[in-house]
Amino acid sequence: MRDLLPSTVAVAVAGRADWASELLPAEQVCLGEQAVPTRRRDFTAGRACARRALVELGLPPTAVPAAADRAPVWPAGVVGAITHTTGYCAAAAAHTTDIRSVGIDAELHREINPGVRRLVLLPEEDAYCARLPSGTHWPIVLFSAKETVYKVWYPVVGSWLDFHDARLDLDPDAGTFTARIASARVDAAGVDDPPASISGRFVVADGLVRTAAVLPLR
């Protein structure tokens, strides 16, 4: 994930100990007592990474609670994102004086079933995937990129973005993508200078798809 983001973004990837580390009280409250073990492990690893990313930014390892909408609550002056999938977890954080928003996502590199594919991809994106070089499950790359786009969009705009609200183009050789956001969503955003496009990077390696994007300062 480190290589996908600019140097102003602190990135922490979970090591073995992070999955079984301790939550801070403000984080524990958000997880609740009833969480199943896998959810507890994911949440815990995400918070361990988030706090380490804060330290890398020169900040104390403050608690990163979750809001009612599940978005992580970063300390004032920080933007960030968390992702976890089977065996992999990472967090990214940056000062708001350096970037406006950041998103990251990781998925197992796998085929996705036709139902999910229809939900995630626009028909033209589905056709586009078929034209891309073989050997990569491109639909899951687009899926991950769209989740990254959502994590960039949501903290800035505070509203929902459907999978079909972003049309993706990617450059398979450069490992880059750009999402054009539906103009209806941009027009309805109700914030200054809502992002009409979000660009990022992706890599497929070690059985994982990793995607990341930043929204630069205005």
Ligand X SMILES: CC(C)(COP(=O)(O)OP(=O)(O)OC[C@H]1O[C@@H](n2cnc3c(N)ncnc32)[C@H](O)[C@@H]1OP(=O)(O)O)[C@@H](O)C(=O)NCCC(=O)NCCS
Q: Which residues of this chain interact with ligand X, rule CB under 6 A? A: 42-43, 46, 66, 69-72, 81-84, 105, 146-147, 149-151, 154-155, 161, 163, 165-166
Residue closer to ligand X, measured from CB, 126 or 135: 126
Distances (CA, A) of 204 to 73, 88, 193, 211: 29, 14, 32, 9
Residue closer to ligand X, measured from CB, 133 or 201: 201
Q: How far is the CB of 165 from ligand X (least distance, A)?
A: 6
Residue closer to ligand X, measured from CB, 57 or 81: 81
Crossing angle of the two packed helices 123-131 and 138-157, in degrees rounded to 10:
140
Rounded distance, CA 138 to CA 144, Å? 10
Residue closer to ligand X, measured from CB, 57 or 166: 166
10 by Cβ neighbours in 10 Å (0-12 / 13-18 / 19+) ranks as buried
Q: How far is the CB of 145 from ligand X (least distance, A)?
A: 8
Six token digits for residue 77: 């002056």
Q: How far is the CB of 196 from ligand X (least distance, A)?
A: 13
Residue closer to ligand X, measured from CB, 70 or 133: 70
Q: How far is the CB of 171 from ligand X (least distance, A)?
A: 18
Closest to 202 in 3D by CA, of 215, 212, 192: 212
Residue closer to ligand X, measured from CB, 150 or 202: 150
Q: How far is the CB of 46 from ligand X (least distance, A)?
A: 4
**Does residue 135 come out as left (phi exceeding 0), alpha (psi in the -120 to 50 range) or beta?**
left
The answer to whether residues 181 and 161 touch, using CB atoms and an 8 Å cutoff, is yes
Q: How far is the CB of 118 from ligand X (least distance, A)?
A: 14
Rounded distance, CA 155 to CA 81, Å? 10
Q: What are phi and psi of 150, to 5 degrees?
A: -65, -40
